[in-house]
Structure 1
Amino acid sequence: MENSSLFFNFNLTMFVNIGSYRYPAFVFCLLLFAMIVSANLVIILVISQQRTLHEPMYFFIVCLSINSLYGSAGFFPRFLMDLLSDTHLISHSACYIQIYVIYTYACNELTILSVMAYDRYVAICQPLHYHTKMTLKTVSKLAAFAWLCSAIFNITLTSLTAKLPLCGNKIHKVFCAMWNISKLSCVRTVINNIVGLLLVGTTVFIVVFYVFYTYIRIILVCRRSSSEFKGKALQSCLPHTVTFLIYSITGFSDVALSRVNIEQLNPYVAVILSLEFVVIPPLLNPVVYGLKLPEIRKHISKMLSW
């Protein structure tokens, strides 16, 4: 058994598969990063500058955009450097920081989407009580709760992972991930697995169950309502539904990828599947909300026409 003290860095081995495509890949990913930053900044600026958009739903959309910028900042700069580098070593401290940022981004996305489901539920199922329930104080508490839960969960999981004695340093991914590091452990990771499954499983189960519950209630209310009401409800819920589905599919793909032998996959397919979780939601979320919500679309059009 190799001594874990021999490994001062982790080696991100999946970059080896890119080879001569590194320069086109760098340009493409740099453009993607620029598009993500630009699109989310536009959403944040439009909502923050327009008083008519100072409502709970739009506040949570801003939270999603801020989270997208946060997650992208934790992934892209290091990733772009690695694309141009001949060596793909990352220190333990930098690796665990990247894990914390990417995993909190993932958890924040999930918790914010669950809070947004509650907002839509109150707006459609209890419209007369909406402004008394969704006050500025309540909205602030919900947003703080979403971010705080993610921080606590990931501090716990990252700390447990960082304490593992390691007998290797090769991570078969383009960024650091807890499961990949756990597989390098010299000892059994029963406690880590149990804590991880309890925290992640409980969080995911509660959020997914609650989102489905709110939408079942919304559908039941819409069935008894007029066609005009149904149209307005669909218009306000559709962006959230699309965003939640995008996040769920990309999140499931990332979890599934971590459980299979990546070396048996086509290297380019493996790289693309590794990237989609940290690229697709931050890129598509502002597009979905910018195109589907008429108030945001109208103000973006005005901004672009100046």
Structure 2
Amino acid sequence: MSNLSLSYVVLGAYVSVGNLRYLFFLLAALLYGAVLFVNTSLILVICVNRALHQPMYLFLVSLFVNELYGSSGLFPLLLVHILSESHAVPAPLCFLQIFVIYTYGHVEFCSLALMSYDRYLAICRPLQYRRQMTPGKVLVLVLVLWTYSFLKVLVTVSLNLRLRFCGNVVNSLYCHNYLVARLACSGNRVNDVYGLCGTVLAVLVPLAPIVFSYARILRVCSGGSRQTRQKAVSTCCPHLVSLLNFSCGGCFEILQSRFDMSHVPAALRGVLSLYFLVIQPLLNPLLYGMQVSKVRHIYRDTLSCKAMAGH
């Protein structure tokens, strides 16, 4: 195949598993349903209850919306291909999936960075917190991070659309920007430079406030009271677990897409490539819903009220 543009992309990581595909379809459908339910229910709980209209919970709403967005960019097409004998994806749909998944990754990392700065202000500057982190400022920050992520990924996808391709098979379970770009007949200097700069920015821009915030939090905790340390642990643990999980998932995805992993079983490679797209959207609402006491109590009370109303 040698043409100026792709007409379709073949996802080459799918293997024939016979009737087991129905089991895989059921598992994937259950996971998607769980992601939709837990994220949507927590968004509704936070939006409906005015007691939760605070900066931290507004950041959580943005995070949960992003989980729904990213999951919807993966699961519908994944479910279709699990049952299908053909794993060809029309090029426009493939580039749309790239846009959604990469935007999801950028928004996720930037949201975790903003949440780390919010935790820094709450722990290290509690008296100034309400003045420096108002709901209006939170909405502006969330709007900026979504706009920044959309524009950054849009430029990436637009540059790839200009490439001349000499192949159409990618060894992945979903459309992957790096693997699709490797199908180009020759390198493009603009794409290469922007790709390098974009990768550096995607890592350093969110990483800077995360490192700054936790360095200050550790400094305050080391010289603070036991109560301060307990507050830091209770408020930072869910965020740290989420951050580490997403970082590990991102590392898994980078390793399996950029290096020769032929010695690793195909099933394990598939799990590693989907980890940050499947586990993170399910982990975050469970983590925050169970660990943040105010959310947990209001969520339980809301369900109790609905149950009583039903009777």
TM-score (norm 2): 0.94
Task: Tell whether 2:237 aligns with 1:234.
Answer: no
CA contact (8 A) 1:108 1:146 kept: yes
CA offsets, 1:186-229, max 9 Å, x none? 01244322211211212312322320110110111122222112
The answer to whether 1:168 aligns with 2:164 is: no
Question: In structure 1, how many angstroms separate the alpha carbons of the residues matched to 2:113 and 2:27?
Answer: 32
Letter in 1 for 2:83: L
Pair 1:244 & 2:231 matched:
no
Distance 2:202 2:102 in 1: 13
Structure 1 residue 6: Cα displacement: 8.5
Q: Which amino acid aligns with 2:293?
A: P
Is the Cα–Cα contact under 8 Å of residues 10 and 171 in structure 1 kept in the other structure? yes
Show CA shifts across 1:77-115 (max 9, x none): 111011111101111100000000000000000111111
One-letter code of the match for 2:276?
F
Distance 2:19 2:256 in 1: 24
Secondary structure in structure 2 of the residue aligned to 1:192: helix
Greater mean alpha carbon deviation, residues 18-27 or residues 282-291: 18-27
Aligned to 1:85: 84
Partner of 1:258: 257
2:114 aligned residue = 115
Q: Paired residue for 1:216? A: 215
Structure 2 CA distance for aligned equivalents of residues 294 and 69 of structure 1: 23
Conservation of the 8 A alpha-carbon contact between 2:5 and 2:163: no
- Distance in 2 separating the partners of 1:19 and 1:181: 28
Contact preservation (8 Å) 1:17, 1:268: no
Residues 144 and 187 (structure 1), Cα distance of their counterparts in 2 relative to 1, 3 Å cut: same
Q: Distance in 2 between matches of 1:18 and 1:275?
A: 18
- For 2:189 and 2:118, how far apart are their aligned partners in 1? 38
Q: Secondary structure at the match of 1:14?
A: coil
Alignment of 1:1-306 (within 5 A): 2-4=1-3, 8-305=7-304, 306=307
Aligned residues of 1:15 and 1:174 also touching (Cα < 8 A):
yes
Q: TM-score w.r.t. structure 1 length?
A: 0.95
Q: For 1:15, what is the secondary structure of its paired residue?
A: coil
Moved more, 246-255 or 201-210: 201-210
Separation (CA, whole Å) in 2 of partners of 1:68 and 1:80: 18
Tell me the secondary structure at the aligned position of residue 127 of structure 1: coil
162-171 or 18-27, larger mean C-alpha shift? 18-27
Two-structure CA RMSD over aligned residues (Å): 1.5
Counterpart-to-counterpart distance in 2, 1:78 and 1:275: 13
TM-fit CA distance, 1:17: 4.9
- Give structure 2 stretches of 5+ with no counterpart: none
Classify the secondary structure of the residue corresponding to 1:90.
Answer: strand
Instruction: Give unmatched runs, 5+ long, in structure 1.
Output: none
Say if 2:4 and 2:163, in contact at 8 Å, map to a contact too: no
Offset at residue 16 of structure 1 (A) = 2.3
Instruction: Please say if residues 104 and 154 of structure 1, whose CA atoms lie closer than 8 Å, have aligned partners that are also in contact.
Output: yes
Tell me the amino acid that sits aligned with residue 111 of structure 1. Answer: C
Percent of aligned positions with the same letter in both sequences?
35
